[in-house]
Amino acid sequence: MVEQKRYALFLATLDSEFVKKTYGGYHNVFVETFGDEGEHWDSFRVVEGEFPEEKDLEKYDGFVISGSSHDSFENDPWILRLCEIVKKLDEMKKKVLGICFGHQIIARVRGGTVGRARKGPELKLADITIVKDAITPGSYFGNEIPDSLAIIKLHQDEVLVLPETAKVLAYSDKYEVEMFTIEDHFFCIQGHPEYNRDILFEIVDRVLRLGYITQEMADSAKATLENRGADRKLLETICKNFLKGRVPAN
């Protein structure tokens, strides 16, 4: 009998009412994007101080760190605890997929610098350019490495200085580090492969109501998704291939 694969999701965000009502929470959004049938996924609401015991880390085949409205460079107790856990996972060479805030936390733990985005925040569907020379054909990207990927972006911070051993896999007009990898066990993405149009639109409406963005920025964000969508299927495949150590067939 094949042993069941186990994955842990570190949720650095709370569930919005919309996500709870529509999907039953972010746990389901992530598992639907990155999970496969027959796997076991546990969620830890790290933003509320919920973490696995260190002795239990070994039982997981991979980890995902979500985005967050918190700054990855702050020193809140839960953020420092998360950094400690990521250090431990690094020592164990466990596979970790870092998304947005998670991408920045991994850079921070490995000695990089994170901070406010130099060219301002981003809230839209954006194109990121793939550094094809940095990717081995037949790796988790598959044999057909795309020139670019469309991905939903929602952040005000960025990786300013990469850790020494990191390799940039994608960049954009506004940000030098859109995607990076460290060795074979850390894969980090500034954008949100798990987001769809509805999730983005609801966040845009909410932050507009709260006065965090202007009407102009809200309209502009929604306009980016008028005639096209994110490359969700391809992003999902790349992330799953990484997490599960799968090399696509030729």
**Is the CB of residue 190 less than 8 Å from the CB of residue 152?**
no
**137 three-class SS:** coil
Distance CA 206, CA 201 (A): 9
Q: Is the dihedral of CA 216, 221, 224, 226 positive or negative?
A: negative
Nearest Cα to Cα of residue 66 among 6, 123, 12: 12
Q: Is the dihedral of CA 228, 230, 236, 241 positive or negative?
A: positive
From residue 119, alpha-carbon distances to 113, 147, 223 in Å are 16, 23, 20
Phi-psi region of 93 (alpha: psi -120 to 50; beta: other; left: phi over 0): left
- Catalytic annotation, residues: 100, 192, 194
